[in-house]
Amino acid sequence: MEKNKQSIIPVTLHDDNTKRQRITKHQSQKLVAHLKNSQAELLVYEGIKPSTLRVLLAELSLNETR
Protein backbone atom coordinates (compact mmCIF):
# COMPACT_ATOMS: atom_id res chain seq x y z
CA MET A 1 0.00 0.00 0.00
CA GLU A 2 1.41 3.36 -1.06
CA LYS A 3 1.22 6.42 1.12
CA ASN A 4 0.40 9.76 -0.45
CA LYS A 5 3.24 12.25 -0.20
CA GLN A 6 2.39 15.74 0.87
CA SER A 7 4.30 18.69 -0.48
CA ILE A 8 4.87 21.91 1.37
CA ILE A 9 4.63 24.86 -0.96
CA PRO A 10 5.82 28.22 0.34
CA VAL A 11 3.35 31.05 -0.09
CA THR A 12 4.14 34.73 0.25
CA LEU A 13 1.32 37.15 1.01
CA HIS A 14 1.65 40.80 0.07
CA ASP A 15 -0.45 43.67 1.31
CA ASP A 16 -0.07 45.94 -1.68
CA ASN A 17 -3.36 47.82 -2.04
CA THR A 18 -1.96 50.44 -4.41
CA LYS A 19 -0.94 47.84 -6.96
CA ARG A 20 -4.33 46.10 -6.70
CA GLN A 21 -6.22 49.37 -7.24
CA ARG A 22 -4.14 50.18 -10.32
CA ILE A 23 -4.82 46.76 -11.85
CA THR A 24 -8.53 46.97 -11.06
CA LYS A 25 -8.88 50.32 -12.79
CA HIS A 26 -6.85 49.18 -15.79
CA GLN A 27 -8.61 45.85 -16.29
CA SER A 28 -12.16 46.75 -15.30
CA GLN A 29 -14.67 44.32 -16.73
CA LYS A 30 -18.38 44.56 -17.32
CA LEU A 31 -20.68 42.89 -14.80
CA VAL A 32 -23.02 40.57 -16.71
CA ALA A 33 -24.90 38.81 -13.89
CA HIS A 34 -25.53 39.20 -10.18
CA LEU A 35 -27.03 36.14 -8.51
CA LYS A 36 -27.97 36.07 -4.86
CA ASN A 37 -29.64 33.48 -2.67
CA SER A 38 -30.20 33.33 1.06
CA GLN A 39 -26.59 32.53 1.98
CA ALA A 40 -24.40 33.33 -1.04
CA GLU A 41 -23.85 35.93 -3.71
CA LEU A 42 -22.24 35.47 -7.13
CA LEU A 43 -21.02 38.29 -9.38
CA VAL A 44 -20.31 37.19 -12.95
CA TYR A 45 -18.14 39.36 -15.21
CA GLU A 46 -17.68 39.18 -18.96
CA GLY A 47 -14.91 36.89 -20.12
CA ILE A 48 -15.64 34.11 -17.63
CA LYS A 49 -14.94 30.64 -18.95
CA PRO A 50 -18.06 28.50 -19.43
CA SER A 51 -16.53 25.64 -17.44
CA THR A 52 -15.82 27.95 -14.50
CA LEU A 53 -19.34 29.36 -14.63
CA ARG A 54 -20.78 25.82 -14.62
CA VAL A 55 -18.84 24.93 -11.47
CA LEU A 56 -19.83 28.16 -9.70
CA LEU A 57 -23.51 27.70 -10.53
CA ALA A 58 -23.42 24.08 -9.36
CA GLU A 59 -21.84 25.14 -6.05
CA LEU A 60 -24.37 27.94 -5.64
CA SER A 61 -27.19 25.46 -6.23
CA LEU A 62 -25.75 22.92 -3.78
CA ASN A 63 -25.28 25.64 -1.17
CA GLU A 64 -28.97 26.61 -1.45
CA THR A 65 -30.17 23.04 -0.81
CA ARG A 66 -28.16 22.70 2.43
pLDDT computed for residue 10 by the predictor: 74
CA angle 51, 56, 58 (to 5 degrees): 95
Nearest alpha carbon to residue 42 among 21, 17, 65, 63: 63
pLDDT tens string 13-61: 766 665 555 555 545 688 999 988 887 888 999 988 999 999 998 888 8
Could you tell me if 47 and 20 are in contact, meaning their C-beta atoms sit under 8 angstroms apart?
no
Q: Tell me if the pTM is above 0.85.
A: no
What per-residue confidence (pLDDT) applies to 9? Answer: 74
